[in-house]
Amino acid sequence: MEKQVWLQHLTWEEVKQKTTKSKGTIILPIGSTEQHGYHLPVGTDTMVANSIAEDAALKADIVVAPPLWFGWSPHHMVLPGTITIRPELLIELVCDIIQSLNRHEFIRFILLNGHRIVNVSWLQIAAERAKRELGVKAVIFDPAYMSKEFDNQFGWGEVGHAEEIESSHMWHCYPELVKMDRAQDNPAHHLRIYHVDPRHAGDTLNYVPSSPSEMELLAKTSGGTAGEPSKASQEGGRKYHEHLVQKMVEVISFLQEETN
């Protein structure tokens, strides 16, 4: 039988077997549904999280929970297809999911964040609560942070939105959903003290979602893209993806080796 990693594809007996075999380890992909320029689908953030989760889980023989397709995206509401939920709701959802899975012996949780810096605060709160109240292990896997050592030989710029990093990754994982001929560049404007790319020496982590007027301007300028998707490549996407899958496999074995 083909190896199945998605929890929703398994029977409860299979879930039980996998739980024991994986020492109670599970990945929760958490993304968003929001505009991603003219060329990427609105499900991009969830889809990239799903791809990393699926490929790493196949290698490590563990289970992946059904993905959370919704995140806090008030700034992207300026364009259609975007769905935003309140961050407090996201925290509660993640906590309830962890609690349910923990009831049946999942004890090692990896929160795989596809929605970049926007999700990080809420996932930290949920992970801390789960650790304190349930005594489980909970870590956050953020692709931007976990790709700091990625050999960026492709001339990619900083983390933006629907930019060359995300476009390359999607182009590799879901070529049928990517419309590169529609992509529009919008090169990053360098600000002296404001960067949210962990690879950038000036990273400040001081993120606040853009205002509606700032986003209207972005929508008008590039259809919602911040960055240069013209620098995207399928080959770069493949290498980036493989780097992240390898990192995820390392995180899984690190968690499984820990005994308390």
Per CB under 5 A, residues contacting Zn ion are 44-45
Q: How far apart are CA 67 and CA 92, in angstroms?
A: 15
Contacting residues for 22 by C-beta, under 8 A, at least 6 apart: 60, 61, 62, 63, 256
- Between 48 and 56, name the residue whose CB sits nearer to Zn ion: 48
Q: Report the nearest approach of Zn ion to the CB of residue 2 (Å).
A: 30
Neighbours of 201 (CB within 10 A): 6
H or E stretch including 97? helix 87-103
- Between 45 and 158, name the residue whose CB sits nearer to Zn ion: 45
Q: Report the nearest approach of Zn ion to the CB of residue 173 (Å).
A: 13
Q: Report the nearest approach of Zn ion to the CB of residue 123 (Å).
A: 16
Strand partners, 110: 27, 139
- Between 64 and 162, name the residue whose CB sits nearer to Zn ion: 162
In 3D, which of 196, 180, 197, 184 has the Cα closest to residue 233?
A: 180
Instruction: Give the residue nearest to Zn ion (CB).
Output: 45
Cα dist. 219→91, 157, 231, 232 in Å?
A: 29, 20, 20, 20
- Between 24 and 143, name the residue whose CB sits nearer to Zn ion: 143
Q: Report the nearest approach of Zn ion to the CB of residue 51 (Å).
A: 13
- Between 44 and 119, name the residue whose CB sits nearer to Zn ion: 44
Q: Report the nearest approach of Zn ion to the CB of residue 44 (Å).
A: 5
